[in-house]
Amino acid sequence: MVETAPSAATGDTPAGDLAAEQNGERLDAVVNLCKRRGFVFQSAEIYGGFRSTYDYGPVGALMLRNVKEAWWRAMVQLRPDVVGIDAAILSPPAVWEASGHLESFTDPLVVCRECGRRHREDQLEDSELCPECGSRGTLGEPRQFNLMFRTHAGPVVETGAEVYLRPETAQGMFVNFANVQRACRLRPPFGVAQIGKSFRNEITPGNFIFRTREFEQMELEFFVPPAEASGWFEYWCAERLGWYVGLGIPEDLLRLRPHGPDERSHYSDATSDVEFRYPWGWGELEGVANRTDYDLRRHAEHSGEKLEYFDAATGERYVPHVIEPAAGATRAMMAFLLAAYHTEEVRGETRTVLRLHHRLAPYQAAVLPLSRKEHLIERARQVLGTLAPHWMVDFDVTQSIGRRYRRQDELGTPYCVTVDFETLEDGAVTVRDRDSMAQDRLAIDDLVGYLHERLAR
- Binding residues (CB under 6 A) for ligand GAP: these are 168, 170, 200, 202, 211-212, 215, 217, 219, 284-287, 324, 326-328, 330-331
Q: Which residue, 149 or 450, is less far from ligand GAP as judged by CB?
A: 149
Q: Which residue, 146 or 212, is less far from ligand GAP as judged by CB?
A: 212
Taking the complex as a whole, the smallest distance from the CB of residue 21 to ligand GAP amounts, in Å, to 20
Taking the complex as a whole, the smallest distance from the CB of residue 113 to ligand GAP amounts, in Å, to 27
Task: Report which residue's Cβ sits closest to ligand GAP.
Answer: 328
CB 285 within 8 A of CB 249: no
- Please state, in angstroms and rounded to a whole number, the distance separating the CA atoms of residues 405 and 7: 11
- Please state, in angstroms and rounded to a whole number, the distance separating the CA atoms of residues 455 and 457: 6
Taking the complex as a whole, the smallest distance from the CB of residue 19 to ligand GAP amounts, in Å, to 27
Q: What does residue 310 show for φ and ψ, rounded to 5 degrees?
A: -115, 120
Task: Indicate the burial class of 369 (C-beta count within 10 angstroms; 0-12, 13-18, 19 or more).
Answer: buried
CB 365 within 8 A of CB 413: yes
Q: Which residue, 326 or 368, is less far from ligand GAP as judged by CB?
A: 326
Taking the complex as a whole, the smallest distance from the CB of residue 173 to ligand GAP amounts, in Å, to 9
CB 390 within 8 A of CB 451: yes
Taking the complex as a whole, the smallest distance from the CB of residue 249 to ligand GAP amounts, in Å, to 14
Alpha-carbon dihedral sign for residues 77, 79, 80, 81: negative
Q: Which residue, 216 or 409, is less far from ligand GAP as judged by CB?
A: 216
- Please state, in angstroms and rounded to a whole number, the distance separating the CA atoms of residues 34 and 102: 36
Q: Which residue, 277 or 434, is less far from ligand GAP as judged by CB?
A: 277
Taking the complex as a whole, the smallest distance from the CB of residue 73 to ligand GAP amounts, in Å, to 19
- Please state, in angstroms and rounded to a whole number, the distance separating the CA atoms of residues 322 and 365: 41
Q: Which residue, 76 or 333, is less far from ligand GAP as judged by CB?
A: 333
Q: Which residue, 189 or 287, is less far from ligand GAP as judged by CB?
A: 287
Q: Which residue, 283 or 402, is less far from ligand GAP as judged by CB?
A: 283
Helix 444-455 to helix 374-387 angle, to the nearest 10 degrees?
40
Taking the complex as a whole, the smallest distance from the CB of residue 60 to ligand GAP amounts, in Å, to 15
Where helices occur in 206-326 by DSSP H, the ranges are: 229-246, 294-303
Q: Which helix (H) or strand (E) holds 114?
A: none
CB 260 within 8 A of CB 228: no
- Please state, in angstroms and rounded to a whole number, the distance separating the CA atoms of residues 443 and 422: 11
- Please state, in angstroms and rounded to a whole number, the distance separating the CA atoms of residues 126 and 117: 15
Q: Which helix (H) or strand (E) holds 382?
A: helix 374-387
Taking the complex as a whole, the smallest distance from the CB of residue 186 to ligand GAP amounts, in Å, to 20
